[in-house]
C-alpha cells in the first residue's frame, strides 16, 4: 500500500455548487434566427472590445492589401452579405480587410471585423465561393459562438477545479489519471460536440445569409468539395474544429432548400 489515497468530497461539492450557481445566473441571449435561448459568458460590449483588440493586432502583424481586384471582390461580397444578417448584425460595425498570406483562412471577429487571407481566394474561386466562407464566418460572430464557448469553458474549468481540489490528497499519479479521464470525457462528450453544433449552425445560417444576398446556396457544396480536395491530410486552420467534409456536405444539402426560399 502506497501512502494515502484520500478523496475528499467537500471541495468537489463546493465547486459543483459554484458551477450550478454560474450556470443558473448566467446571462442568456435569444438567437434572432433560431429563437433559441443560449447562455453566454460575455456581454456584447465585452465581445466587441475583444474582437476589436484582436482585429487591430492581426492587422498590425499582417501585410494588408488595400486595393486591387481581389480586395474589390471581397468588399463586394461583404457589402452584399451585411444587410442579410438582420438583428444578429444590427449593432455590429462591419469592416473587412484582405491580408496577403498563403494560409487558407478567413474569420470574422465578434462585433463584425472580418479578415480574409489571400490563400483562400483560389479555393473560393468566385463570389459564390467567397460568400459561402464569409457567410459562415459572419454567422459565427452574429450567433455569438465565442461568448457561448467562453461560458461552457468556464463551467468546465470550475468543475475540473473542484475535482482537482477533491483529489489533492491522492497519489499524484492516480490523480493525473482521473483528471485526464475526466478532461477527455468532457472534451469529447461535451465541448467538442458543442463546437461541432456551432459549425453546423454557422453553415446553416451562412447559407441563409448568402441566399438572401442573392448567391445560390448550392454553390456551397462545390466550395466545400474544393476545400476537401486541397485540404488533403492537414486540415486548414480555420476548419480545425470543423466536422468532416463529408458530414458537412451532407448537412448543407439538407439546408439548401430552406435557404433557397430566401433568395430574392
Ligand atoms: Zn466555422
CATH for 117: 3.40.390
**pTM attached to this predicted model:** 0.89
The CA 167 to ligand 1 mean position distance, Å, reads 37
CA distance 128 to 173: 54
241 within a domain of the structure (yes/no): yes
Number of domains composing the chain: 1
Can you give the pLDDT at residue 96? 98
CA distance 16 to 197: 25
127 within a domain of the structure (yes/no): yes
Neighbouring residues of the ion ligand 1, judged by CB less than 5 Å: 199, 202
104 within a domain of the structure (yes/no): yes
The CA 9 to ligand 1 mean position distance, Å, reads 39
Can you give the pLDDT at residue 40? 93
Can you give the pLDDT at residue 188? 76
218 is catalytic: no
1 within a domain of the structure (yes/no): no
Give the domain range for residue 56: 9-260
CA distance 12 to 173: 19
CA distance 88 to 251: 22
Q: In this structure, what is the dihedral angle of CA atoms 165, 18, 110, 104, given to the nearest 10 degrees?
A: 30
- Who contacts 48 (Cβ-Cβ below 8 Å, separation ≥6)? 91, 110, 111
- Who contacts 170 (Cβ-Cβ below 8 Å, separation ≥6)? 4, 5, 6, 7, 178
Can you give the pLDDT at residue 176? 87
Residue 24 has a CB neighbour count (10 Å cut-off) of 8
215 within a domain of the structure (yes/no): yes
The CA 236 to ligand 1 mean position distance, Å, reads 11
Q: What is the pLDDT along the chain (264 residues), one digit of tens a residue?
A: 445 568 888 989 999 999 999 999 999 999 999 999 999 999 999 999 999 999 999 999 999 999 999 999 999 999 999 999 999 999 999 999 999 999 999 999 999 999 999 999 999 999 999 999 999 999 999 999 999 999 999 999 999 999 988 988 888 888 888 888 888 888 777 787 788 889 999 999 999 999 999 999 999 999 999 988 876 444 444 445 666 778 889 999 999 999 999 999
Closest by Cα among 222, 255, 263, 240 to 124: 222
The CA 107 to ligand 1 mean position distance, Å, reads 8
4 within a domain of the structure (yes/no): no
Question: Grid coordinates 460595425 are at which residue?
Answer: 93
Catalytic residue among 48, 137, 199, 201: 137
Contact 62, 101 (CB under 8 A): yes
Beta strands in the chain (DSSP E): 27-30, 37-40, 64-65, 95-99, 106-109, 113-117
The CA 64 to ligand 1 mean position distance, Å, reads 23
Q: In this structure, what is the dihedral angle of CA atoms 78, 92, 251, 75, given to the nearest 10 degrees?
A: 10
2 within a domain of the structure (yes/no): no
The three cell numbers of residue 91 are 449593432
211 within a domain of the structure (yes/no): yes
The CA 21 to ligand 1 mean position distance, Å, reads 30
Contact 232, 100 (CB under 8 A): no
Amino acid at each position: 500500500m502506497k501512502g494515502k489515497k484520500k478523496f475528499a468530497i467537500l471541495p468537489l461539492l463546493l465547486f459543483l455548487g459554484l458551477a450550478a450557481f454560474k450556470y443558473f445566473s448566467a446571462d442568456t441571449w435569444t438567437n434572432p434566427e433560431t429563437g433559441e435561448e443560449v447562455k453566454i459568458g460575455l456581454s456584447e460590449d465585452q465581445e466587441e472590445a475583444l474582437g476589436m483588440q484582436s482585429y487591430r493586432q492581426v492587422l498590425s502583424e499582417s501585410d494588408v492589401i488595400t486595393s486591387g481586384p481581389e480586395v474589390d471582390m471581397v468588399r463586394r461580397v461583404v457589402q452584399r452579405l451585411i444587410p442579410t444578417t438582420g438583428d444578429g448584425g444590427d449593432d455590429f460595425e462591419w469592416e473587412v480587410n484582405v491580408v496577403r498570406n498563403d494560409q487558407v483562412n478567413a474569420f470574422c471577429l465578434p462585433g463584425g471585423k472580418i479578415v480574409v487571407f489571400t490563400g483562400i481566394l483560389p479555393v473560393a474561386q468566385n463570389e459564390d465561393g467567397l460568400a459561402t466562407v464569409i457567410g459562415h464566418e459572419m454567422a459565427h460572430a452574429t450567433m455569438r459562438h465565442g461568448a457561448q464557448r467562453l461560458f461552457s469553458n468556464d463551467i468546465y474549468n470550475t468543475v475540473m477545479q473542484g475535482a482537482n481540489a477533491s483529489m489533492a490528497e491522492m497519489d499524484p499519479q492516480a490523480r493525473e489519471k482521473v483528471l485526464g479521464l475526466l478532461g477527455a470525457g468532457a472534451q469529447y462528450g461535451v465541448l467538442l460536440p458543442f463546437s461541432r453544433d456551432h459549425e453546423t449552425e454557422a453553415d446553416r445560417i451562412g447559407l441563409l445569409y448568402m441566399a438572401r444576398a442573392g448567391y445560390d446556396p448550392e454553390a456551397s457544396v462545390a466550395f466545400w468539395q474544393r476545400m476537401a480536395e486541397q485540404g488533403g491530410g492537414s486540415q486548414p486552420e480555420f476548419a480545425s474544429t470543423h466536422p468532416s467534409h463529408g458530414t458537412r456536405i451532407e448537412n448543407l444539402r439538407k439546408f439548401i432548400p430552406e435557404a433557397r426560399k430566401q433568395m430574392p
